[in-house]
Amino acid sequence: MRDIFTEIFENQPLDPTEAARRGVRTRLRKRFYDKATAADDGPNSYAVLLDGKKINTPARKPLAAPARALAQALAAEWNAQKDVIDPARMPLTRLANAAIDAVDARPAEVAAEVEKYLGSDLVFYRAEQPAGLVERQARHWDPVLAWARDALGARFVLAQGVMHVTQPAEAIAAARSAIPAEPGNMKDIWRLAAISSITSLTGSALLALALKHGVLGPDEVWAAAHVDEDWNAEQWGVDEEAVARRAARLVDFEAAARILRALDQSST
């Protein structure tokens, strides 16, 4: 099935709005299976099966999750495909492929990419005015900074405006310790994949870590990531293209949040 999964998941424009803007037509493969299921596949491993047969990622590694609920969710995503298989509607499978094919091979590098955000995190940069925006940023972001300070020992420096401020190396190192990156631990690998995705989608490693550690819920994190955007929309009106792009990103965010939740709830 190597050629099939390469064709389905590699080199596909996954943002429908962007694909339409660029005039890209995706060739979607017809559904070729009757039923997807999940099955035990060794200690802490649950495989996704199509018509009872194991399937592989594009890199020819078994598509298997470290928690039963995740494998079942992946199978449900495959069962939800109708006449064709649309990767844009399979965010969990795309993130699973990334965890298995990419993150597992270089967890330290992925963790380092997340760490880079700690030097210029979204929540550090505050507006000087108007007062309403200043208050809203503080309401959404201050609890995250307080948690980083009290739970992680990471004391970050705030800045007004967009001028870069250098963060203390000790603070970055303290927060870095909360990024999971244990080689060979597939639960950690999947958590790291989810955190990496959330970090890039929100522009904030601290928001991603706050979600992972249960400090904020998914809705709170998503709102915190869009404080400035929502404020501007209230003042100047909604940009429909921006709304569509945000909706596409939300699908991927929810998939990553679902992975973190499922792994926390798993007892195996």
Residue 251 lies in a domain: no
Q: Is residue 97 part of a domain?
A: no
The mean per-residue pLDDT over the stretch 180-199 comes to 93
Q: Please indicate, yes or no, if residue 174 is contained in any of the structural domains.
A: yes
Q: Which tens digits make up the pLDDT trace of 99-149?
A: 999 999 999 999 999 999 999 999 999 999 999 999 999 999 999 999 999
The model's pTM is 0.90
Residue 247 lies inside a defined structural domain of this protein: no
Structural domain containing residue 85: 2-89
What 3-state DSSP class applies to 62? strand
> Contact 141/223 with Cβ under 8 angstroms?
no
Assign 182 a pLDDT band (cuts: 50, 70, 90): confident
249 belongs to a structural domain = no
Of the candidates 39, 62, 89, which is a domain's last residue? Answer: 89
Indicate whether 137 and 59 sit together in one domain: no
In a domain, 163, yes or no: yes
What is the average pLDDT score of the chain? Answer: 91
**Whether residue 118 sits in one domain with residue 227:** yes
Residue 17 reports pLDDT greater than 70: no
Query: Per the domain annotation, does 258 fall within a domain?
Result: no
CA dihedral (65, 67, 72, 75) in degrees, to 10, reads 0
**pLDDT, tens only, 55-87:** 999 999 999 999 999 999 999 999 999 999 999
Asked whether residue 45 is domain-assigned, the answer is: yes
Q: Are residues 124 and 195 in the same domain?
A: yes
Q: Find, among 203, 188, 195, the residue nearest to 263 by Cα.
A: 188
Same domain, 119 and 81: no
**Residue 176 sits in the same domain as residue 80:** no
Q: Which of 144, 41, 158, 143 is nearest to 100 (CA)?
A: 41
- Report the CATH number that the domain containing residue 81 is assigned in CATH: 3.30.2180.10
Encoding tokens for residue 239?
């940009």
